[in-house]
């Protein structure tokens, strides 16, 4: 049974930074790709970033390119999301999940084992 625990969220002013962590327990990384998604108030879950843990290749939604960076630590069984220059529109609950596919997919339906998420609130 795979369980994921996200942490690191909080309240920050616009322009600030946060580092989110996603620690996995159980059998994980059977998929090469781990993704970060977010769900803002009244919005659907949207893709933010993903990393191919074996190839270290990364993908980002256009709105966070140059501000966010995804990384992983195999020894810690963890994936991180460094978020810089946060904006009010980044306010959301952030989730990580492993992909069911060996190929990059931006749809949340292609990921599973969702955790509880961590709230990120950016004030103006």
Convert the pLDDT of each residue in 81-99 to its tens digit.
999 999 999 999 999 999 8
pLDDT at 30 over 60: no
CB-based contact 45:95 (threshold 8 Å)? yes
Instruction: Please give the Cα distance from 80 to 19 (Å, whole number).
Output: 7
pLDDT at 61 over 90: yes
Give the pLDDT mean for 49-77. 92
Read off the pLDDT band of 28 (50, 70, 90). low
pLDDT at 29 over 80: no
Instruction: Please give the Cα distance from 14 to 27 (Å, whole number).
Output: 37
pLDDT at 71: 95
Tens-place pLDDT, residues 99-115: 888 889 999 999 988 88
């Amino acid at each position: 049974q795979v369980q994921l625990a996200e942490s690191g969220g909080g309240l920050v002013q616009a322009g600030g930074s946060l580092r989110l962590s996603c620690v996995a327990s159980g059998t994980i990384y059977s998929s090469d790709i781990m993704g970060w998604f977010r769900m803002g108030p009244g919005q659907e879950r949207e893709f933010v970033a993903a990393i191919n843990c074996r190839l270290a290749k990364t993908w980002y939604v256009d709105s966070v390119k140059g501000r966010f960076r995804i990384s992983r630590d195999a020894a810690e069984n963890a994936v991180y999301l460094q978020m810089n220059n946060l904006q009010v529109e980044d306010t959301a609950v952030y989730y990580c999940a492993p992909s069911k596919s060996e190929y990059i997919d931006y749809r949340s339906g292609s990921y599973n084992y969702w955790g509880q998420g961590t709230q990120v609130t950016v004030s103006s």
